[in-house]
Every structure is written in C-alpha cells, then in structure tokens.
C-alpha cells in the first residue's frame, strides 16, 4: 500500500470515474446532485477562501496547524468543508450536533478552534452561546441561510486565481503524516479526549477495509448516509465510497430514513445496532396490526428466519419454506429499503444475533464489524465471500492490522491505522498505546477460522459481592430479543445478585394489554399494573434459563420512558452511558436491592 492523502480522492475520482452524482441531498424537497467536477471546483475555491482568511498548517505540527470545527448534520457542505480544510494541511474538528454546551465549550477551547461551520439556526445559536468563552474563534459560518449569520458561500467568494494557484502548491506538499482530524470522544467517562488521526491512519484503514470486505469500484452504486459524519466509522467509509466511485446520498434526518431509502433505492448503507432494532420494531408493529392468515404467515416467516444459519443450509425443506417466506413476506421488507440493498455494515456496538439471523434470512445482508476511533476505526469485519460471515462475530481481522489477545482477553492491535495519540494528553496516550500496541479495552476471543467475537467491554465487567465476574452486554442483548423489551441495563457491581433496569417496548405492551383486557392509560400506570409485572417476570424467568446462575436476573425495575441522546442516557452513536443511567436511576436501582 502506498498511502495517499484523503483529499486525493477528488483527483482519483475525476480521473477514473467522474460522476454526475458524487454527492446528493434534498434542497427544498428536491434531490440535488453535485458532479465530481463541481465538487472539485467548490472544494478548491473553499480552500482558497480559507487561505485568504489566514488558515494554514503552520509548521505541520498538531499544535501549530489551524483547527476548523464542523457542527452539522450530514450534507454535501460537510464534505466540502472537510476536504477544503485538508487541502491546506489544517485540521478538522468535527463535533456531534447533539453535544451539550459544556462539552462543546471544552472541545472548542481545547483545540483552539479558529472558525466554525454549522448546519442550521439551532446549531448556530448553540455555537454562538459558547463562542464568547472561546477566545480563539474568529467567525461562525452557517450552511443554511440564517439572518444575521455569515453564509459559508462568503468564504468561497474570496477565491481568486492567485489563491487557487497557491492552494495547488500547498496541497502538493502536504505529507501523509499530517493530521487530518481530531475526533473528540463523547465523554461517557469524563472529559472528552481528542483522538488525533493522520491521513495515513485513515487512508490505510479505508484501503485495507476496501480490500478485505471487499468494496468494488462501482460507479453505478449509490449509498444512503445517515450515521453522523463525526463518527469515524461513517467518515472512513465515506472515503471508501469516494475512492470507489460510489454516489453518496444524504438522508434529510433520522426521521426520514424510511422515505429516503424508498426514494434513493441505495445499494447499501452503514448503521448502528440501535437503528436496526428500531427498523425491526417498526416491522413487528406492522405485523401485529395484521389479522387472519396474513398475521399467521408474517409470524411464521419471522420464526423461520430466526432459526437461520448462513453457514448451514438446514436441509431442503427449510430452504423451501424460507424461499416461500421470502416471496410472500420478506420481499415487502426489501421493497421498504428501496429494493436494491446489497450490503448493510453495522458497528459501534454488539448487534443482537437474532436480528442478524432474521435480516440475512430475509436476503437483507447485514455484516457486523468492529473497531474503535483510536484505530481509524476498523479492526475486523464480516465478509461477503462464502463462509466469510459468521453471525455473532465481528468477522476476521482485516488486512494491515495485527491482533493479539492479552491474558485477560483484551484485544490489542498494531498497524498503520493506530492513532497518533490523544491531543495534549501524552499521559493517556502512554496508557493506551504501549510499544506500538493499541489496548482497546474490549474483551474478545478468536474462534476457528480467525473470526473475532467480542464478549464485553473491560470496563463494563463487574464483580458481585460474592466475587463472581459478570459481563452485562451478552445478557442485555439476549433480553432485547424480546419484542416487549426496548432497552435494558444489567446492574449489580458489589451487590449480592444481578438486577436490571428495563424499558418496555410500549407499542408492543399496549397491544398485549389490549388483548388481555387491561386498559392502557399512561406508561407510568402500565409499569405498575400487576399483570404487566407478572408478564415481565415470566419473560425474565424464561431468559434466565439460558444464563449461568450468577448471571441470572433476580429482580428488575421497569422504567416509563426510553433512554435517548436528548435525555442524556445515550451517546451520539447510540451507545448506553452506563454511569449516567446509574446516577439518574439510582432510586430505581436501590429499589431492586431494598
């Protein structure tokens, strides 16, 4: 592999497969596409404008290079700004739109951000509210046209021939060792940490991921992008798309994904398990609305799919039944996703095996992968090749990454995609990267054939007061297989037994209550209803039979509302903030052990 800079994708695509729809998004309700040639022109003018504003790489060190922040939903302008900053050797600092003001202020000050680009009025107001306490900030620009705000086009309008020639000279001399971005973690365990990733780090990961998966050069392909571009997974995969000639279409919002899938008819997309769970819940809710033979057929098909093993044919009778289920039921699922999906790659957290079985049986190929931001990020991914996808694992390690397991099972990796370190935190860097090995904090096992299985987070393992270790994640994922359980968190560190906080799937619970002649009034009243508590106890008892005695849930508490990013229990990549939940629902946990 000869490393490239990320922005070299522009020239690469222009030479090999110039496209009419390199980047596309809805503007005033209509899909608008930007060709490769148009994107190249916009990015160059954007770089020239930033150069006029004094943005530079300084002496190419992390400290001296100017930092530019983006706080925006996914859209073409996000990529324009990202690429324009890179071409000057400056460093992009992407911030989740959902980041709270205190964390935002910390990040902007820590990175000494010079200019901010925001998506809409709400984000403009948020940035403006903290800008007065961040001395380094010069201007906040917006992608939307907002009264009183500087529009991003004001930057491109500063371009002239001399500046464009200077940009061409500067970008030729940017080394692959230059930092492309500093990505701050969501701060689930305290102060956010800035992960420094160079062009070489991210390019090597996209290169080896592209070979390993594989992503073919496919100019005829389209993808829908909705995972936040602040997430290194979506950012890295974006560059795979750009280097593969795949057209990127941006979803309008998380709420419109269903409509956008039907409009765009993409060949694939990336996601996180929580969103797949949401899709499955909606499908099951529609199934529950059916009556008679259609209802029986629907649930027969789902039951059949939940037994699917992609590496075991299960015999001709099973295959015949599954073919019938695909024709009569699952074909409608595929239509709802646009009808063309050839791949869905999921990462960021463990995916329920039951969900993977059902989607793959329905000919909606879902491939689970794994990797932390600190590795740019991919370490392992399941493959499209025959025998390359083992459900319940995160697949074989990709090329270019060397893996070893410590005595306690901690996953450690080395290779060109391992981060340069944490910004301004040499102490944390020294704790995390030891003799070139990145210590991920995840526990795993290698199975026959080189398939990696993640068993838990090292920090999430806990000991009961009896001295027994418990890994919460596998227990939680098993319980979430129930259509009546929306979210669950296992508790019990230093306690006599394992307990759980359970958020019911209220749509399913309402249907169950109606079928059992129980009046539903509010969520709060429902979780106190004796027959509801009895039903959930039976459910937990049923799942307990699959756990070791020490792992079995002895008591649980039902909670009335879903955990969300907005209410603070979920990270922007939809992972559970365990410490926040423990603190916020301390009384409910005490009730379990009272």
Q: Domain segments of the chain: what residues?
A: 8-23+31-192, 270-397+442-457, 462-593
**What burial class does residue 325 get, using C-beta atoms within 10 Å of its C-beta: 0-12 exposed, 13-18 middle, 19+ buried?**
buried
- The confidence band for 186, taking pLDDT boundaries of 50, 70 and 90, is low
Say what the pLDDT of residue 188 is.
Answer: 45
Tell me what the mean pLDDT of segment 338-345 comes to.
96
Q: How confident is the model at residue 573, as a pLDDT? A: 78
- Mean local confidence (pLDDT), 295-317: 94
pLDDT at 225: 97
Task: Average the pLDDT over 35-62 and give the result.
Answer: 97
> How large a percentage of the chain has pLDDT more than 90?
84
- CATH homologous superfamily for 8-23+31-192? ANL, N-terminal domain (3.40.50.12780)
Give the pLDDT confidence of 98-137 residue by residue, as tens digits.
Answer: 888 989 999 999 999 999 999 999 999 999 999 999 999 9
Region 2-10: mean pLDDT is: 96
**pLDDT tens for each residue of 527-583:** 999 999 999 999 999 999 988 888 999 999 999 999 998 899 998 878 888 889 999
**Residues 495-525 pLDDT 10s:** 889 999 999 999 999 999 999 999 999 999 9
Instruction: List, edge to edge, every strand of the sheet that includes 553-558.
Output: 485-491, 498-504, 553-558
pLDDT of residue 393: 96
Cα–Cα–Cα angle for 457, 208, 310, rounded to 5 degrees? 65
pLDDT band, very low/low/confident/very high, at 383 (cuts 50, 70, 90):
very high
Q: In what order do the strands lie in the sheet with 67-71?
A: 150-151, 139-142, 115-118, 67-71, 91-94, 179-184, 194-198, 421-422
Nearest to 108 by CA among 122, 95, 117, 96: 95
pLDDT at residue 202 in the model? 98
Mean per-residue pLDDT, 382-402: 94
- Count CB atoms within 10 A of the CB of residue 315: 9
Average pLDDT over residues 321-338: 97
Inform me whether the pLDDT recorded for 214 exceeds 90. Answer: no
pLDDT of residue 205: 98
| Confidence at residue 29, expressed as pLDDT on a 0 to 100 scale | 94
- Mean pLDDT for all residues in the chain: 94
**Number of Cβ within a 10 Å radius of residue 134:** 20
Average pLDDT over residues 196-219: 93
Question: Residue 386 — very low, low, confident or very high, per pLDDT cuts 50/70/90?
Answer: confident
pLDDT at 322 over 70: yes
pLDDT at 467: 78
pLDDT digits (tens, 9 = 90+) for 404-432: 999 989 999 999 999 999 999 999 999 99
DSSP state of 144: S
Q: What is the pLDDT of residue 470?
A: 87
Q: For the segment 452-503, what is each residue's pLDDT rounded down to a tens digit? A: 999 887 778 887 887 777 889 889 989 999 999 999 999 998 888 999 999 9
| Mean pLDDT for the stretch of residues 42-62 | 97
- Reply yes or no on domain 462-593 having CATH 1.10.10.60: no
Q: What are the DSSP calls for 456-487, one per residue?
A: EETTT-EE-TTS-EE-HHHHHHHHTTSTTEEE
| Assigned token pair, 583 | 């603190």
DSSP string, 70-113: EE--S-HHHHHHHHHHHTTT-EEEE--TT--HHHHHHHHHHTT-
In this predicted structure, what is the pLDDT of residue 122?
97
pLDDT at 190: 63
Q: Residue 289 pLDDT more than 70?
A: yes
pTM to 2 decimal places: 0.87
pLDDT for residue 189 is more than 70? no
Percent pLDDT > 70 in the chain is 99
**CA-to-CA dists, residue 244 to 160, 306, 339, angstroms:** 31, 34, 22
pLDDT above 50: residue 153? yes
């Amino acid at each position: 592999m000869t490393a490239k800079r990320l922005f070299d994708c522009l020239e690469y695509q222009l030479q090999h497969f110039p496209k009419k729809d390199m980047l596309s998004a809805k503007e005033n309700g209509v899909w608008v596409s930007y060709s490769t040639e148009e994107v190249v022109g916009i990015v160059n003018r954007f770089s020239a404008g930033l150069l006029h504003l004094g943005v530079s790489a300084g002496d190419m060190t992390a400290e001296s290079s100017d930092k530019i922040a983006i706080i925006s939903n996914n859209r073409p302008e996000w990529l324009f700004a990202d690429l324009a900053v890179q071409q000057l050797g400056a460093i992009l600092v992407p911030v989740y739109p959902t980041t709270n003001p205190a964390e935002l202020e910390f990040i902007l000050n820590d990175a000494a951000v010079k200019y901010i680009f925001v998506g809409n009025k709400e984000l403009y107001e948020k940035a403006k509210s903290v800008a007065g306490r961040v001395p380094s900030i010069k201007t906040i620009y917006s992608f939307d046209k907002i009264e009183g705000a500087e529009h991003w086009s004001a930057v491109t309008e500063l371009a002239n021939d001399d500046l464009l020639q200077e940009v061409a000279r500067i970008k030729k001399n940017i080394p692959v060792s230059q930092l492309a971005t500093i990505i701050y973690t969501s701060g689930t365990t305290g102060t956010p940490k800035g992960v420094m990733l160079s062009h070489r780090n991210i390019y090597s990961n996209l290169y080896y991921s592209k070979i390993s998966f594989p992503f073919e050069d496919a100019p005829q392909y389209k993808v829908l992008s909705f995972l936040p571009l602040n997430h290194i997974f979506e950012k890295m995969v974006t560059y795979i798309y750009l280097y593969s000639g795949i057209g990127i279409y941006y979803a309008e919002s998380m709420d419109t994904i269903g409509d956008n899938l039907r409009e765009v008819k993409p060949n694939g997309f990336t996601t996180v398990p929580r969103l797949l769970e949401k899709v499955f819940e909606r499908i099951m809710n529609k199934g529950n609305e059916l009556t008679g033979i259609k209802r029986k057929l629907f649930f027969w098909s789902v039951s059949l799919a939940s037994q699917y093993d992609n590496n075991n044919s299960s015999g001709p009778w099973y295959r015949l039944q599954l073919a019938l289920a695909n024709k009569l039921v699952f074909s409608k699922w595929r239509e709802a996703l646009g009808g063309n999906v050839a791949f869905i790659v999921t990462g960021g957290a463990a995916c329920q095996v039951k969900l993977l079985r059902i989607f793959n049986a329905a000919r909606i190929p879902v491939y689970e992968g794994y990797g932390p931001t600190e590795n740019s990020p991919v370490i392992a991914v399941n493959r499209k090749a025959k025998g390359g996808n083992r459900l319940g694992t995160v697949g074989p390690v990709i090329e270019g990454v060397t893996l070893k397991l410590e005595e306690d099972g901690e996953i450690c990796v080395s290779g060109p995609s391992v981060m340069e370190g944490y910004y301004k935190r040499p102490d944390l860097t020294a704790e995390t990267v030891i003799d070139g090995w990145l210590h991920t904090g995840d526990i795993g096992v290698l199975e026959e054939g080189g398939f990696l299985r993640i068993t838990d987070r090292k920090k999430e393992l806990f000991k009961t007061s009896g001295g027994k270790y418990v890994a919460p994640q596998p227990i939680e994922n098993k319980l979430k297989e129930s259509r009546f359980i929306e979210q669950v968190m296992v508790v019990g560190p230093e306690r006599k037994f394992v307990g759980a906080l359970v958020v019911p799937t209220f749509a399913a619970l309402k249907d169950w209550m109606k079928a059992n002649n129980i009046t539903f009034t509010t969520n709060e009243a429902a979780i106190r209803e004796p027959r509801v508590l009895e039903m959930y106890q039976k459910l937990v008892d049923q799942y307990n039979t699959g756990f070791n005695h020490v792992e079995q849930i002895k008591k649980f508490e039902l909670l009335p509302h879903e955990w969300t990013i907005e209410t603070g229990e979920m990270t922007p990549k939809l992972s559970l903030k365990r410490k926040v939940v423990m603190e916020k629902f301390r009384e409910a946990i005490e009730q379990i052990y009272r």
